[in-house]
Amino acid sequence: MTIIKPVESPTVTAPLSKNSALRWVRKNLFNSVFNTVLTFVMLYFVYVAGKGMWSWGITDAVWIADTRRECFAISIDGACWAGVYAWFDNIFYGRYPREELWRINLGLVCLVIWMVPLWLPRVKAKISIGMTTVFLYPFLAGYLFSGGAKGVFMQFMVTAAIVCLLVNTLHAIVGVCSGRSLLEFIVTLFGKKNASSKRGRNILVGLFAIIFVVIYIWQMNWTVERIPWTKWGGLFLTLVISGIGIAMALPSGILLALGRRSNLTIVRVFSTTFIELFRSVPVITVLFMATTMFPLFMPQGFVLNKLVQVIIAVCMFNAAYMAETVRGGLQTIPKRQFEAAHTIGLGYWQTMGLIIMPQALKHMIPNIVGNFITLLKDTTLVSIIGLFDVLGMLRSISKDSPWLGLHKEPLVFGAFLFFVICFAMSKYSRHLEVKLSTSHKK
Amino acid sequence: MKLATLLLTSVVAFAVMAAPVAASTGDTLDIVKKRGYLRCQVGTPSGGFYNLDADGNWYGLDVSVCEAVAAAIFGDKNKMEIQSVSSQARFTALANGESDLLSRTATWTISRDTQLGLDFVTPNFYDGQGFTVLKSSGITSALQLKGANVCVTTGTTSELNLTDYSRQHNLDINIVTFEDWNVRDDTYLKGGCDAVSIDKSSLAANIVSFPNPSEHLLLPETISKEPLGPAVRHGDNQWADLVRWSLFAMINAEELGVTSANVDEMRANSKNVDIRRMLGVEGNIHEGLGVSKDWAYNIIKQVGNYGENYEKYIGSGEGALGIQRKGTLNELWTNGGLMYSPPMR
């Protein structure tokens, strides 16, 4: 009888040939004569293409110059990035007055501050934060960007937006520090344990009212110079158009998709007509119709804001596409889900809101984000109808006297810019998919 | 039944859309004055005529016409908004009242003048189509282009002119069309075509933008007439008069030797009756135009005369295209050109 002693065998690192890069290369690239030849041929092509790009874009490129002629004088074959750099303000902000650029930056910072709590794990009430982003932020941003005198409604909404931003931020800070909501935190601050007590609620309401009034009075004297939309441009304009398009496409797409599946004839016919009409017409035609044809039927001298026309056209077009994506998602939901919802006594909107949509939307994330990316890229079509979005600006560089004929570099830069934005969006969608795929883990 | 209703609705909708647009008569000036600024249409940027600079401001010869009209009406050249409209939509945008004035290197032709509901006021630049070739090709005349590949951009009259010219001289030219002139020029530089053909002003500008300008040659032939000038809606003569005379004031000022630098002194001291009349010191030429007495003074003071603007944007000024004015049709009539203003009296 032998006694077996449990002796831990020493850990041995895997042989070098098992996990080294060399082994991977040999296994995947040189495992047969044919593959070896193929690898070398491909490497040669990559080298030829890469070398040209590298020397044109980096080694032979000119980074500092005042005119294209100077670029040529320094290096005749290289890229002239100096021209792109000189136009940075135009590319990012359009013709926005240079001393007012802080307003665009501030608007962007506000958006980031507003949205950051959505990503923080310990913060509660994310849905309300998301809703306020969609419904209140546009008023604050809209005023920051366009300026001018505020009407009573605008004053109210701007105040509401500022208060909301403050509350959101405090809520996020409290949430991150203590894991509680702002409501609970304030109530405990006043020595009340129970949030639902009447006194606590009164304190809260009073507090908010005071903050609201203070900010309202402050913002009455806060005005910024009016900047007409015709001065908007560059990446800023692209993001405004596509941002509104994205924010509007999903809700209206959901409504249209539900309308198309509705039992009410008028709703169904309207939704179907709308979707089919906009899906069958190229986006550029919709834009042309909206901007040049539409004013023909209006009284003389009546000019609707072209930007608004474009935004409406973009929204309608994308709502139609989104509706079909959503309908596709809805069709993946088995009928028993509807029946089960009916059985427990849920009405139509509750069934949709609580049972169907949460499941359907999860399936649709890749498609929805795909739509958003397409929308962002389609937005560049507005440069054809005379709005100077980022593409319009990039193409204008080649006509500016100091940079006459400079057109490759701006387009390469534009491609890079769009890649960064779109790739970030697609990565984020992947992240969301993983995060939300609770029931379909592999 | 349902389908029938749908069809009927769409037919009605299209009938409404196709209804003719009533031509406007005689109220553009009032509309502009009431609005407080001028809406002046240019195209997508074009070297020398309307460009954006790195700070987002518009400049160029055609932009200066917009400025002149704004200065005449409001006494402030900045009271205008430049609208950049694609060439497909340019005439519609004027017809539907979006723009008050079109100032964008549009060629004055009879069909445009009579069929598109617009009136060209007077040319502010006389251009003509020509050819650029490589010096090394040995070609020195357009008549040697037999069977050549010639690159042009689409959507302009240059394609039609070239076809006519080729037919007329039995040249059998192979026309290669491009949407974007940058791509056209790149193709030419890489040897994809033997010549490029477009208005000579553009050709001159393009040659300047090539890596080695001295390798290229502008052929002497001019195969077309391209009078470029501002246009307004047909039927509003009051407005057309104002635009026309704003431009004439710039030309006249050059002829009389009045510049933005000396206009103040001229207004105070000049004994020349023509100058005194133009600057509003005596007479009342402004009355028929519906603007203030010093309208021409404002144009010259703020925008400058025609020659100044030519040099600044097209000619030899810093950052200009470097197109010689001497010996071209754009010289004053006193120097053998076509720039001629009727008398201002």
CATH number of residue B190's parent domain: 3.40.190.10
- Determine the residue of chain A that is closest to B29 in CA distance: A301
| B42 phi/psi in degrees, rounded to 5 | -120, -175
* Domain final residue, candidates B224, B239, B269: B224
Q: What per-residue string of b and e applies to A220-237 under the rule 16 or more CB within 10 Å gives b? A: eeeebeebebbbbbbbbb
Report pLDDT for A302: 62
Of A165, A96, A366, A15, the residue nearest A157 (C-alpha): A165
- The answer on B147 and B114 residing in a single domain is no
Q: Is residue B17 part of a domain?
A: no
* Domain final residue, candidates B194, B224, B254: B224
- The answer on B35 and B120 residing in a single domain is yes
Cβ distance A60 to A77 under 8 Å? yes
Q: Is residue B301 part of a domain?
A: yes
pTM over 0.90: no
Structural domain span for residue B154: 129-224
Question: Which A residues in the span 1-30 are in contact with B, Cβ-Cβ below 8 Å?
Answer: none
Report pLDDT for B4: 45
Q: Is residue B188 part of a domain?
A: yes
- The answer on B320 and B266 residing in a single domain is yes
Q: How many CA atoms are closer than 13 Å to the CA of B271, on its beta-carbon side?
A: 0
Q: Is residue B59 part of a domain?
A: yes
| Bridge-based pairing state of the strands B226-228 and B125-127 | antiparallel
Report pLDDT for A17: 59
Total count of domains within chain B:
2
Q: Mean pLDDT per segment of 10 residues, for chain A of length 442 residues?
A: 75 68 81 89 93 90 90 89 93 91 92 85 78 86 87 88 88 81 74 62 81 86 86 92 90 92 92 92 85 71 76 91 92 90 89 88 87 90 84 90 90 94 89 71 43
Q: How many CB atoms lie within 10 A of CB B257?
A: 13
Task: Determine the average pLDDT of the residues in B54-82.
Answer: 94
Nearest chain A CA: its distance from B264 CA (Å): 31
Task: Give the Cα separation of B158 and A251 in Å (integer).
Answer: 49
- The answer on B79 and B51 residing in a single domain is yes
Nearest chain B CA: its distance from A288 CA (Å): 8
Q: Is residue B43 part of a domain?
A: yes
What does pLDDT average to over chain B?
A: 87
Query: What residue spans in chain A does CATH classification 1.10.3720.10 cover?
Result: 66-96+230-442
- The answer on B315 and B166 residing in a single domain is no
Q: How many helices (H) and strands (E) does chain A have?
A: 21, 0
Q: Is the alpha carbon torsion for A68, B314, A389, B116 positive or negative?
A: negative
pLDDT at B125 over 90: yes
Task: Determine the average pLDDT of the residues in B66-82.
Answer: 94
Phi-psi region of A334 (alpha: psi -120 to 50; beta: other; left: phi over 0): beta
Q: How many CB atoms lie within 10 A of CB A407?
A: 23
pLDDT at B144 over 70: yes
Which residues lie across from B196 on neighbouring strands? B132, B151
Q: Is residue B49 part of a domain?
A: yes
Confidence of residue B19 (pLDDT cuts 50, 70, 90): very low
Q: Is residue B343 part of a domain?
A: no
Task: Give the Cα separation of A218 and A250 in Å (integer).
Answer: 35
| B127 phi/psi in degrees, rounded to 5 | -115, 175
Interface-testing mutation among A297, A300, A385, with chain B (most B C-beta atoms within 10 A): A300
- The answer on B136 and B109 residing in a single domain is no
Q: Which residues contact A335 (CB under 8 A, 6 or more apart)?
A: none
- The answer on B120 and B234 residing in a single domain is yes
- Residue A419, Cβ density class (10 Å: 0-12 exposed, 13-18 middle, ≥19 buried): exposed
- The answer on B110 and B242 residing in a single domain is yes
> ipTM surpassing 0.85, yes or no?
no
Report pLDDT for A411: 93
- Determine the residue of chain B that is closest to A392 in CA distance: B44
Nearest chain A CA: its distance from B41 CA (Å): 10
User: Quick check: A395 and B92 CB within 8 A?
Assistant: no
CATH fold of the domain at A66-96+230-442: MetI-like fold (1.10.3720)
- The answer on B201 and B172 residing in a single domain is yes
Of B314, B302, B196, the residue nearest B259 (C-alpha): B302
Q: What per-residue string of b and e applies to A268-304 under the rule 16 or more CB within 10 Å gives b? A: ebebeebbeebeeeebeebbbebbbebbbeeebbeee
Q: If residue A435 lies in a helix (H) or strand (E), which one and from where to where?
A: helix A408-436
Task: Give the Cα separation of B92 and A294 in Å (integer).
Answer: 11
- The answer on B104 and B48 residing in a single domain is yes
Interface-testing mutation among A292, A382, A391, with chain B (most B C-beta atoms within 10 A): A292
